Chain A
Amino acid sequence: MKMAYSSILDWIDFFKDPMDSPYYPFDTYNLAYDIGFKLHEILGGTIAWLINLLFPGNGVSEWLMCDYVSTIMALLIFMILIFLVAFVSVLIVLWLERKLLGRMMDRRGTMIGMKGFLQCVADGLKTFMKENTIPKKVDKMTYMWCVSLIVGLSVLVACMVPLSSRWYVVDYQTGLLIIMAFFALAPFLILVSGWAQNNKYSLIGGMRAAELMISYEVPMLILICTTALAAGSFNIGDIVYYQNEHLWFFIPQILGFIVFFFCATAEAERVPFDIAEAEAELVEGWQTEYAGMKWGLIMLADYLRGTVSCGMVVILYLGGWTLPFIGDGPIPEIVFLLKAYFVFFLMVLLRAAMARVRTDQILNIGWKVFMPLSVINLAIVIVLKTGGLI
């Protein structure tokens, strides 16, 4: 029999370890889940205490705070948290791109609120207010499914990139392969959606996306295999800690780093490899028939993919979330994001400096320059690995 009045402290146990729960869904400590668990502990505990005040001794309060429900609620908050972090980091990337590009062009960039950061919010509101127009002659099912899948896949991949050993969704043994597989799906959907829109610009854009994909995908996969070979694992955490123990991979694999950087730029379809969008030639490339919020989401997905590209470069070559001599440090997530923003800065520099690659050059670049370079890089890594140098 419970007391008629119970203190709120009876319901909130802030120092409860989530790993003690029998339903704990991860193998290792997960910071995002821990925050979700503690948030549920505070909010759910308060609600449970209030319900208990009104109806003393009821079952709902007990049920709300039991292990099973708290795991589910913590997982929900965990998902929102993981998405929010990915989303906010993408907004920062958007702001960085506009501001840096402005500086590189000797202008000011965005100026609305918080040094121009609120411009993304204004843009989001603007695209949200727009009418949802769908052209009459498009193949409606493919048209809608493609945009949903592109946006969905991009968000999925952005959430799957681990920010540190304690900020991840799933800790796969083959995490690198799975991320790259999802990452490489989007160009295929771009081709399909270009076909579905019944528009010559979209069709040309889709075809170009396919051309771009076959030109950069092969050297990129060779480079990923090289890195996996050097680290001896496809697990992202293993790769990062191997680099931390030995040497950041961009020193022995400087060729691979450069080639992978260009391939990642192409993967995110950024200038100079934005031939699928090509604003100056095709109206808006494969996005021509998408209007309003659909276009806004595609734009967001583009930048999500750009962030993931930067993240992959950081994981494979720049030592992920670790720092030399320090290792993990107190805030590995911030270290990871800062490194990713640095790589993004290089991408923006490339964008400001370079013209778009012609469609007839891209296959030459991919197969005659990048592929031999990546194979040479693979040979170097094999020699170093057999010599026991890395």
Chain B
Amino acid sequence: MTIKYLDKYPKNLAKSLWVMKPVWTVFKLFGKTVTHRSMTILYPYEKEWIPENYRGRPGLRFDKCVGCGMCVRMCPTACIKLIEVDDDAGKKVMRPQVNVGRCAMCGYCAEYCPVDAMTVTPEYELAEYTRYDLLYGPRRLNYEGTTEGMEVHLELTLPSDIENGNPERRVRLADLDKPELTDSKCIGCKKCAKVCPVGAVKMVEKGVNDKGKPIVRPEFDNAKCIGCSNCIIDCPKNALELKEVL
């Protein structure tokens, strides 16, 4: 009977001193936090350092934007919309408007912007009193002090380039994908020339048809093209397609 109770004692009494281990750990941490500052920061008064390319709300450089709508297409939360605004000369232009309330701050708009007009900004305190106030128009999206580092480039090197011994980074979207015409489908409606935001499409006459009317076909200026794929989307006969550079 007595032996049975004695069995419940710890066999090795020194082992029961394990309780001192956490105490010692805590005491060491206490010494460290008394002499140095603690991990936590006083948020509204102190702020953590954030890098230049921190993905806060999107920013827009109004004059650089061409209104191609790439950001609208790429936005995963569909928070960007093209609206008509007056530019500095009083001309009507299309520019993106961002609903920051829906924005996921992923930075895809800045990544895919062909002219680097969209940037990321280190601004993340975006609380407003109404949901209407969360709509950032093209002018309001402007961020003072935009630097080079806030542009996000989509840079990649193709495997074929490495094989060819030319492993350069491809920075422009137009270097990756190029619009290509299927000649039999084209009806010469000139729509592609109208929607191109940079005027890279030129309609060229290529002879006359049976009825004596001129045949016009688009011709792409690869130096001007930004690869926004507006012409492909708007083509009524699906005569254009985006051909990937392999």
Contact = CB atoms under 8 A, between A and B. Distances in A.
A130 interface: no
Contacts of A106: 29, 33, 38-40
Nearest to B41: A108
A353 B40 contact: no
Interface size class of A (residues with CB under 8 A): 10 to 19
A108 B9 CA distance: 41
By secondary structure, the B interface counts as helix
B40 A104 contact: no
A353 B34 CA distance: 17
Nearest to B22: A353
Contact of A103 (B8, B19, B22, B34): B34
Interface string A330-355: 00000000000000000001101110
Interface of B: 5, 8-9, 19, 22-23, 25-27, 29-30, 33-34, 38-40, 42
A232 interface: no
Nearest to B39: A106
Contacts of B34: 103
A103 B39 contact: no
Contact of A104 (B5, B8, B30, B42): B30
A349 B40 CA distance: 20
Contact of B8 (A100, A353, A364): A364
Contacts of A368: 5, 8-9
A31 to B, nearest CB: 34
A71 B9 CA distance: 60
A283 interface: no
A111 interface: yes
B24 to A, nearest CB: 8
Interface of A: 100, 102-104, 106-108, 111, 349-350, 352-354, 364, 368
Looking at B25, B33, B39, B42, which has the most chain A CB atoms within 10 Å of its CB? B33
B38 A107 contact: yes
B38 A352 contact: no
23 contacts: A100-B30, A102-B38, A103-B33, A104-B26, A104-B29, A104-B30, A106-B38, A106-B39, A106-B40, A107-B40, A108-B38, A108-B40, A349-B26, A349-B30, A352-B26, A352-B30, A353-B22, A353-B26, A354-B19, A354-B22, A364-B8, A368-B5, A368-B8
Given A104-B33, A364-B8, A368-B9, A349 B23 contact: yes
Contacts of A353: 22-23, 25-26
Contact of B23 (A107, A108, A354): A354
Given A103-B30, A104-B30, A368-B9, A350 B39 contact: no
A149 B29 CA distance: 40
A193 B146 CA distance: 66
In order of increasing CB-CB distance, the 7 nearest A-B pairs are: A353-B22, A353-B26, A353-B23, A103-B33, A106-B39, A107-B40, A352-B26
A114 B93 CA distance: 58
Nearest to A372: B9
B26 A108 contact: no
Nearest to A100: B30
Given A106-B29, A364-B8, A368-B8, A111 B23 contact: no
Contacts of B25: 353
Nearest to B37: A108
Nearest to A364: B8
A364 B6 CA distance: 12
A368 B8 CA distance: 9
B3 to A, nearest CB: 14
Contacts of A108: 38, 40, 42
Nearest to A109: B38
Contacts of B5: 368
* Residue of A104, A107, A350, A364 with highest tally of chain B CB at under 10 A: A104
A260 B8 CA distance: 23
Contacts of A104: 26, 29-30, 33
